[in-house]
Chains A and B, each alone.
Chain A
Amino acid sequence: MTYKIVASQCTSCSACEAECPNMAISEKGGTFIIDPKKCTECLGHFDTPQCVAVCPVDNTCVIDNSLPRYQAP
């Protein structure tokens, strides 16, 4: 399970970086990215994904549907 950040909507406010329990978020090229290898969707840490909860722009931290595991078999 992993989230991604929609770069065109990201304000680069960095709020998600500090909240991520997995240190999966970092700044790259003026916007923030989530390392899919580290993201756990906050399962085991919090009730809701912290990046989604703190992000000031709705629908900017979203499930990365392009990953093979989310594709229909």
Chain B
Amino acid sequence: MDSTANLESGASGANVDMDAVMQQVAEHKGCGTEGGSGKASCGSGAGENDLPQEIWDKVKNHPCYSEEAHHHYARMHVAVAPACNIQCNYCNRKYDCANESRPGVVSEKLTPEQAAKKVLAVASTIPQMTVLGIAGPGDPLANPAKTFKTFELISKTAPDIKLCLSTNGLALPDHVDTIAKYNVDHVTITINMVDPEVGAKIYPWIFWKHKRIEGIEAARILTERQMQGLEMLTERGILCKVNSVMIPGVNDKHLVEVNKAVKSRGAFLHNIMPLISAPEHGTVFGLTGQRGPSAQELKALQDSCEGEMNMMRHCRQCRADAVGLLGEDRSEEFTTDKIMAMEVNYDLETRKAYQAAVELERVAKVEAKKEELETLAGVASDIKILTAVATKGSGLINEHFGHAKEFQIYELSTGGAKFVGHRRVDLYCQGGFGDEDSLETVIRAINDCHAVFVAKIGGCPKGDLAKAGIEAVDEFAHEFIEKSAISWFKAYLEKVNSGEIVHESRGDAEIRQGALLAAAD
């Protein structure tokens, strides 16, 4: 298969000098100014009534495994695992700018003891933090002693916190029993291919049995180990999420095969993420000009894989030291200096009480959605439209348009409101486009939407959005997202049916790739 045949724009071609690229990677010191980039989150849209009870109990508080939970619950990663045993063309761990946000990036490495202290500090400050993950910045299972020591310490001091890890899978079969022993019941494997020919374009080498192995042989070993590890985990009832990076022209069409392979081996959730690729990241793909997918391309692939398997669309592709709700990063509040100075009072009862209040909020939200949906019963229409929502969490339209760092995207149809993604719109350093108007940036990011729901918006941006064909809706301020969206959609259909407006489809939208310039407020 010729990967270059599918490349539409600026992707890596045959005439790229790989030696020159590798030297650039080696010399790369990160973004000259400050970096940062696309965040991602994790999860399935399935609710309490769609899953067996034992599975729902495992995912209901896990923001990455449940889209519904991610509006309410937070996670944190501790960066105790710096070493890696494979090389990926989309990864460069040298880039350590505090404002950069993507997998593999951290500001500081922690020892297991520091990590345990940090978890207690965060759990005491953020009572809705329910999940502790180890995701790098290398591979957790290439650092087994540090990874499992961290789990051991945390399971003693904060037994209510769910443990989670994310791996490339190469070392996974060797550690499945230890994973089970520490009650790690969520494991994510990054699987980008099941065909070694495709894999050779993504992985330049693996370190295996004391040797560096390159090319198709490397990818063949990796895929065998990944599939074996996945089977071993699902046999033990450990919930598995599969992450796949969508690389247009390299593995985009192939990911349908990956989806079938992981589904048949019992994976619970498939998370297809867009490639994050910019020259300033210093990755091979960034330097060869390999592009990421557009919003429409990503959604089309996710839609085509959605069948019997849950697709995660709320992944913010977060850092290996992220803290907070998906889509927010509070890691700056918990640097090692700060946590070592903190008086930590781990109060399990307070956490339980807070989480009980969160559950009431969730129930109210689901009820409101159900009631509103009933009013759509009997309405027939093939129209499906996307809408953007400015939210700070809790499933409410509670963010000002101008303050939104991201918009959540919901697809509306007579079937209801479905979360299908998010678009990051915070201030980016776009390699030469840094001065662009931020409203233009927002419009490009939500250009495929008919409306944007906000708590508040000024007259000026409202007018500019209208000119771009996007209706700014502020009448549902501080109300539930799904209930409001369904209600608005019902009115939209009525206007279309009465001839007051003509339904027109929208264009594509952009997935932001650049580095984040301004830190969160």
Contact = CB atoms under 8 A, between A and B. Distances in A.
A56 B207 CA distance: 10
Contacts of B25: 57-58
A43 interface: no
A56 B93 contact: yes
B27 interface: yes
**Interface size bracket, A side:** 20 to 34
Contact of A48 (B82, B85, B212): B212
A45 B94 CA distance: 30
B272 to A, nearest CB: 25
A57 B83 contact: no
Nearest to A57: B26
Interface string B199-234: 000000001001110000000000000000000000
B179 to A, nearest CB: 19
B142 interface: yes
Given A14-B83, A18-B83, A48-B211, A58 B26 contact: yes
B: contact size bracket:
20 to 34
A9 interface: yes
Contacts of B83: 13-15, 18, 54
Q: Is the interface of A mostly helix, strand, loop or mixed?
A: loop
Contacts of B143: 14, 18
A63 to B, nearest CB: 17
A9 B84 contact: no
A46 B210 contact: yes
A13 B94 CA distance: 9
A11 B94 contact: yes
Contacts of A54: 83, 85, 207, 212
16 contacts: A11-B94, A13-B84, A13-B93, A14-B82, A14-B83, A15-B82, A15-B85, A19-B210, A46-B210, A53-B207, A57-B25, A57-B26, A57-B94, A58-B23, A59-B23, A59-B26
